[in-house]
Amino acid sequence: MGKAIPTVEGWHSQHMVFSMDFSAWNCFEAAEKEKARAELKAFLAELESMHQAKEGSYAFYDVNGYKGDLLLWILAPSLDELAKWERKFRRLTIASVLVQTYSYTSVTEVSAYVKAKLDVPEVDAKLYPCVPKDKYICFYNMTKKREGNDNWFMLPQEERGRMMREHGITGRPYLEILSEFTTGGVGLDDWEWGVTILSDDDIQFKKIVYDMRFEEASARYGIFSDFYVGTIIDDARFEEIFQ
């Protein structure tokens, strides 16, 4: 019988995806649009202050495809802080033209599969991430299979450790061109993990995910959600979206 691997947790994490009703937005008067833009900018400035103070972090991206238009990722010290941010966002004027299409509640997580020590700065950087403002984001969920002989949770720890070491070896070279954050959602949401990758080169998402498909941990045990990809909403893009 397997045994749970020790994990350490850091900030709580809320991924939110919204679709924007552009026909409703287009019906806004110019002054209403201006008010909505100013409120949203003030909200983002508050998130930026939290990020600068290293009390949390965030990401705001323009999502491709039908799954949504905006991805807002917030990291904060507790679930209740996240709920406050969420409520604040929902009360913005812009929220009246947004419909939430996805969310994932979790907490940053590092496990002891590979790391001998969990109280080192490298681990802290994963638990309390300073999310980089890279051009592109890729977010999806993963769960490990529990079916017949392919039951991750029935495997001995050494066996899981071997596969996770292999996983780390595949992943490590990619850290030169992307950042990856694993958040754990067991007991908090429907999927076991959230995977958030940021890079200035979106092709690296395709490369790392394809590479990992051949690892046993993924090939045999990986189950994945929908994928969300998007581009950072910088000032220029903000004006384009909310014009």
Report the interhelical angle of 79-90 vs 30-52 (nearest 10°).
160
148 DSSP 8-state letter:
T
Contacts of residue 84, defined as CB under 8 A and 6 or more positions apart, other chains included, come to none
Would you give the binding string for ligand 76R spanning residues 17-56, x where CB under 6 A is met? Answer: ----------------------------------------
**By the rule CB under 6 A, 167 interacts with ligand 76R:** yes
Contacts of residue 211, defined as CB under 8 A and 6 or more positions apart, other chains included, come to 170, 174
Strand partners, 146: 151
Binding segment (CB under 6 A) for ligand 76R, from list 28-36, 56-64, 81-89, 162-170: 162-170
Phi, psi of 99 (to 5 degrees): -125, 125
Copy the structure tokens of residue 138: 């890729």
Binding segment (CB under 6 A) for ligand 76R, from list 9-17, 24-32, 64-72, 110-118: 110-118
The pairing of strands 193-199 and 70-76 is unpaired
**By the rule CB under 6 A, 193 interacts with ligand 76R:** yes
Q: How far is the CB of 241 from ligand 76R (least distance, A)?
A: 28
Q: Are 12 and 78 in contact (CB under 8 A)?
A: yes
Give Cα 69 distance to the centre of its chain: 15
**By the rule CB under 6 A, 222 interacts with ligand 76R:** yes
> Does the active-site annotation cover 140?
yes
Size of the site for ligand 76R (CB under 6 A): 23
**By the rule CB under 6 A, 2 interacts with ligand 76R:** no
**By the rule CB under 6 A, 225 interacts with ligand 76R:** no
**By the rule CB under 6 A, 182 interacts with ligand 76R:** yes
Name the 3-class secondary structure at 119.
coil
Closer residue to ligand 76R (CB): 46 or 216: 216
By beta carbon distance, the residue nearest ligand 76R is: 171
**By the rule CB under 6 A, 131 interacts with ligand 76R:** no
74 DSSP 8-state letter:
E
Q: Which of 58, 140, 174, 221 is catalytic?
A: 140
> From its phi and psi, is residue 95 left (phi > 0), alpha (psi between -120 and 50) or beta?
alpha
One residue of 4, 31, 175, 236 binding ligand 76R per CB under 6 A: 175
**By the rule CB under 6 A, 133 interacts with ligand 76R:** no
Distance CA 40, CA 28 (A): 15
**By the rule CB under 6 A, 75 interacts with ligand 76R:** no
**By the rule CB under 6 A, 6 interacts with ligand 76R:** no
Copy the structure tokens of residue 17: 């995806």
Chain residues that interact with ligand 76R, rule: CB under 6 A: 111, 113-115, 142, 144, 164, 167-168, 171-172, 174-175, 180, 182, 193, 195, 197, 208-209, 212, 218, 222
Catalytic residues: 140
